[in-house]
Structure 1
Amino acid sequence: MSSSIQNLDHLKIPLEDILEATNNFSDENFIRQGGFGKIYKGQLKLSGELINIVARRLDTKYGQGNKQFWTEILMLSKLEHDNLVSLVGFCDEKNEKIVINKYAARGSLDSYITDPNFTWGKRLHTCVGIAHALSYIHYDEKRDFSIIHRNIKSSKILLDYFWVPKLSGFNLSMTTVASQRDQICIEDACGTIEYVDPTYVKTGGVTHKSDIYSFAVVLFEVLFGKKAITDKIDIKLTNEAKSRYEKEQLDDWINPDLRKQMDGESLKIFSKLAYDCLNEHRARRPNIDQVILKLEKALDLQRLQTEGAMYLQRLGANPMLDVRALEGTSSDLKIDRSSNQLHYRFSRSTG
């Protein structure tokens, strides 16, 4: 690892620059306390440009240390994807170890889980983006190594100003040789218990399918509008999710304001996928590419419903509206003139 660290000198940021950027880690700049340590926002001048940043200060009393600090930096320095958090640099000076990332203006997904104004469409878009991030870290052919994240949860999913989701929290991640990525790795279990693959906890063996399980917990948080971590120790989200899915009682637990927004088929595909990802037998969980296909289909169906509702609204306001104004979009809308019924036809844009 030492040789790899020496290659990161170009990412070093002086402590005095970070102190200036965060107003000496002032209370006004404080965002939240995480498992890594305290997190602050700020504005850092870098190469003549002022950028919005987040500074994460390592605090070893929370159980993490040098290993997790350097793991985060080494991982992010080798990764680049639209749905991953961006590494700006780091500081290792005067007993301070700080990771600097670009600031995500909308905060983290866990802040929106219970808010029905964070619409079903936005939720699906977020899940699709994070699935693409997982596909990239698990299976990118341009790298000779594969990554298991080991800490997937809603608080590690950040949202930028344009609501683009960014996966963060690579301090607990681990690498495997790309050609051996499907093998079980033996490593002490870590992460937040509500999200951790129970097979990993029982056996100490972790695979990419362990990330799929953790992602499924997030999917059910998104679906129900309820957080996995609550004060109600007698209720576990995953147990409720599996039980209600098997009894066909999902509607009873979905936030009613959220349920009103959902296309029925979109909900059906999404919930079946989330349930399959929770399978206790890891081999039976879908791989990440299958997850992406199902999520994108659920999103497409939801978009069709939204486009149809918008058209009917406009038609109600203007009965003479020509349907051709909406045709030729990503999904074609057609009117059966004889029955005055609205029909949808899938068509993926090739332009």
Structure 2
Amino acid sequence: MTTTIARFAHLQIPLQDVLNATNNFHHDNIIGRGGLGHVYKGQLQRSGELITISALRLDGKHGGGVVEFWTEVSMLSDLKHPNIVSIVGFCDDKHEKIIVTTYEAKNGSLKEHLSNPNLTWTQRLKICVGVARALSYLHYDQRRGYGVIHLNVNSSTILLDENWEPKLSGFKVSIKQSLNRMDQVVLSEPIGTIGYVDPEIGKSKGVTCKSDVYAFGVVLFEILCGRRAYIRNDANRLLAPLVMQHYENETLHDIVHPDLRNQISMGALRRYSETAHFCLKEDKIQRPSMLTLIDELQKTLEKALKFQQRREYFVRPSLLFFFFFYVNYFPWF
């Protein structure tokens, strides 16, 4: 029998509409594969408007994922932020469970672009600021009446739209918590993706909003180093201990993405790496809040923009000098 929770009834979408939108879940429309199932791109009619959607189709073969399905529907139905994916609706019909969101990933996920030489330092910093704003909204927004611990922050759940604006997704294991208890431990098994899991969980037997801060710190170093948090067959499989070692030995510059080295001033690198380093502190009390992180990253971004402007300023006059030099002294050139 179809399960429908009354307060989400307005979000329900008939199965036939989803089938029409995705051409019966045609394999050509698959745009992602995750732990819960495949994600399909499609065109859906809603309120007389044709919109582009992503449809996460729960893989029912293994019989799991129902709790995660309703968790994601519940979370997204309450969350409205420019840096968080927007829910269109869901389908819970004929043994199918499908979550439909607006299609945000026109540039894929951050994971696909970590080593992209064309993704500039300032673009990367803007992505960092956007994700920090999304997490700050989850942790502290008073209008919602409760906080959210995401617990799945990683470079795969950060989607990038056509303007490279980040959209946080992946709320399947998120936890609601009273706003005045966000720093207090919620009993939980270690949750998350390898390479991003808060090491404090094992000691405290639970999670706090600082577990998101730890995962975000890993993402900050992924962005700086241009590599993933976990590489299965690599000698340095885990990025977090590697960057902590280089940070403490003052050799972090050695593992910065080669295409970024000339784009980053030493001051900006120092400020950014110090911020990311504090996120990875084993003692969660020493980790900054997301509000502090927004402020620090915004200042780093401002410095990066000024550095970029200075570089452009010095390059342009030198080019003009050579142009006029050749015109005046070698008119036949």
Normalising by structure 2, what TM-score? 0.91
- Amino acid of the residue matched to residue 268 of structure 2? S
1:97-246 paired onto structure 2 within 5 Å:
97-104=97-104, 105-235=106-236, 236-246=238-248
**Alpha-carbon distance in structure 1 between the residues aligned to 2:9 and 2:255:** 51
Q: Deviations over 1:108-165 (max 9, x none)?
A: 1000001121111111000000000000000001122111001110000011111111
Q: Which residue of 2 aligns with 1:340?
A: none
1:63 Cα offset (Å): 8.1
Identity %: 46
| Range 3-12 or range 204-213, more displaced | 3-12
Give 3-state SS (helix, strand or coil) of 2:43's partner. Answer: strand
1:1-351 paired onto structure 2 within 5 Å:
5-60=5-60, 64-104=64-104, 105-235=106-236, 236-318=238-320
Q: Is the contact made by 1:109 and 1:158 (CA closer than 8 Å) also made in structure 2?
A: yes
**Alpha-carbon distance in structure 1 between the residues aligned to 2:62 and 2:211:** 24
1:258 Cα offset (Å): 1.7
C-alpha change, 1:162 and 1:64, in structure 2 (3 Å) is: farther
**Alpha-carbon distance in structure 1 between the residues aligned to 2:189 and 2:37:** 21
Q: Is the contact made by 1:35 and 1:62 (CA closer than 8 Å) also made in structure 2?
A: no
1:251 Cα offset (Å): 1.5
Aligned length: 317
**Alpha-carbon distance in structure 2 between the residues aligned to 1:201 and 1:192:** 15
- Amino acid of the residue matched to residue 280 of structure 1? E
C-alpha change, 1:63 and 1:173, in structure 2 (3 Å) is: farther
Structure scoring higher RCO (CA < 8 A, sep ≥ 6) equals 2
Give 3-state SS (helix, strand or coil) of 2:302's partner. Answer: helix
**Alpha-carbon distance in structure 1 between the residues aligned to 2:151 and 2:63:** 16
Q: Runs of 5+ in structure 2 lacking a partner?
A: 322-333
**Alpha-carbon distance in structure 2 between the residues aligned to 1:100 and 1:143:** 22
- Amino acid of the residue matched to residue 67 of structure 1? V
**Alpha-carbon distance in structure 2 between the residues aligned to 1:298 and 1:259:** 15
Q: Is the contact made by 1:53 and 1:100 (CA closer than 8 Å) also made in structure 2?
A: yes
**Alpha-carbon distance in structure 2 between the residues aligned to 1:152 and 1:196:** 9
C-alpha change, 1:38 and 1:7, in structure 2 (3 Å) is: same
- Amino acid of the residue matched to residue 245 of structure 1? Y
1:266 Cα offset (Å): 1.3
**Alpha-carbon distance in structure 2 between the residues aligned to 1:316 and 1:193:** 49
Q: Is the contact made by 1:37 and 1:62 (CA closer than 8 Å) also made in structure 2?
A: no
1:318 Cα offset (Å): 4.1
Which portions of structure 1, spanning 4 or more consecutive aligned residues, are displaced by more than 6 angstroms? Answer: none
Q: Is the contact made by 2:4 and 2:92 (CA closer than 8 Å) also made in structure 1?
A: no
**Alpha-carbon distance in structure 1 between the residues aligned to 2:13 and 2:156:** 26
- Amino acid of the residue matched to residue 261 of structure 1? Q
Q: Runs of 5+ in structure 1 lacking a partner?
A: 320-351
Q: Deviations over 1:54-101 (max 9, x none)?
A: 000112567842111011011111110111111111100111100011
1:264 Cα offset (Å): 1.8
- Amino acid of the residue matched to residue 77 of structure 1? S
**Alpha-carbon distance in structure 2 between the residues aligned to 1:205 and 1:91:** 32
Q: Deviations over 1:205-246 (max 9, x none)?
A: 100001000001101100101111213253121110000000
**Alpha-carbon distance in structure 1 between the residues aligned to 2:30 and 2:4:** 31
RMSD: 1.7
- Amino acid of the residue matched to residue 76 of structure 2? L
Q: Is the contact made by 1:113 and 1:221 (CA closer than 8 Å) also made in structure 2?
A: yes
